[in-house]
Copies of this chain bind each other. A is one copy, B any other.
Amino acid sequence: MLGGDIRMEQVTLAAGERLDRLGFQGLRIIQNPTKFKFTIDAFLLAALVEHRKKLRLLDLGTGGGVLPLLLAGQNPGLKAWGVEIQPQLADMARRSVLVNNLAAQVDIIEEDLKKLPKKLLLNSFDDVIANPPFYPVGKGVISENDALAGAKFEIHCTLADVIKTAARMVKGNGRVALVLPAQRLGELMVLLAQVHLTPKLLCLVYPKAATSANLVLVRACPGTGAGLKVLPPVFVYGADMQYTDRMRQIFHGAKLDISK
């Protein structure tokens, strides 16, 4: 299936790995379905990161690199750094960067985000983003699969760690963007305030129009001030249980309309 793809000469797939399509821009991503797969959360978060020229972006806990790949693929002016503590995920992410010929735009750094910066400059990023582990340890059944468990549960870092690091790495006029379970919205607002990040945009994501929200997207900026805007809701599925038009647009790289 991959014969003739010159990019594949540079990388090798390990046992259990496969090369999946990533969105609609011709991108591909190496995934191991038993270890870690991206979810729609990544597309939703990408929809909150605007295209600008010469953007320096940092993804905290990049997993298989889905967000740097998506955003670098959308924006040739983007330079992205993805930090991942888990060696097998960082390695997968690095190979996915090669598969997509994005080595000039994306660096994967195997590192504990709590120990940043090392090679990275403090307060130097236009955008710091994260799709952090969703569940506190002790809530729910932790997977026996280490990589998956680390991506889903706060084993390697807590939400507070992610937000503290984001505040340290983002530029004074930059933006922090996160996607989290809607249940953590209250805690999220408190943690942002503790590091003087002010929420500016919020978007609730509902599986369907008549269900409670499962995800919240937030954009916060350094400094104080008010003026939070709660964007129109995003519904993932319609009454017909197919993706809504809005969600399809987001899969195709559409950004959230922050003018509404």
From B136, B198, B213, B260, contact of A212 by CB (8 A): B260
Interface presence of A238 (CB below 8 A): no
Interface presence of A192 (CB below 8 A): yes
Interface presence of A117 (CB below 8 A): no
From B189, B190, B210, B233, contact of A185 by CB (8 A): B189
Question: Does the CB pair A226–B183 fall under 8 Å?
Answer: yes
Q: Quick one: closest B residue to A257, CB to CB?
A: B210
- Docked pose: A232 CA to B211 CA in angstroms: 5
- Docked pose: A128 CA to B186 CA in angstroms: 20
From B189, B198, B233, B260, contact of A233 by CB (8 A): B233
Question: Does the CB pair A230–B202 fall under 8 Å?
Answer: no
Query: Which residues of A190-211 have CB atoms within 8 Å of chain B's CB atoms?
Result: 190, 192-193, 198-199, 202, 204, 206, 209-211
Q: Shortest Cβ distance from A56 into chain B, in angstroms?
A: 26
Query: Which residues of A117-140 have CB atoms within 8 Å of chain B's CB atoms?
Result: 136
Q: Shortest Cβ distance from A183 into chain B, in angstroms?
A: 5
- Docked pose: A213 CA to B229 CA in angstroms: 7
Question: Does the CB pair B260–A187 fall under 8 Å?
Answer: no
| Chain B residues near A184 (CB-CB < 8 A) | 226, 228
Q: Shortest Cβ distance from A234 into chain B, in angstroms?
A: 10
Additional 20 contacts, C-beta under 8 A, given A136-B226, A188-B189: A182-B228, A183-B226, A183-B229, A183-B230, A184-B226, A185-B189, A185-B199, A185-B228, A186-B193, A186-B199, A186-B226, A189-B190, A190-B190, A209-B232, A210-B260, A212-B230, A212-B231, A212-B260, A213-B231, A216-B230
- A selection of 26 A-B contacts at a CB cut-off of 8 Å is A136-B226, A182-B230, A183-B226, A183-B227, A183-B228, A184-B226, A184-B228, A185-B189, A185-B228, A186-B189, A186-B192, A186-B198, A186-B228, A187-B226, A204-B204, A204-B230, A204-B233, A206-B232, A210-B232, A210-B260, A211-B232, A211-B260, A213-B230, A213-B231, A216-B230, A233-B233
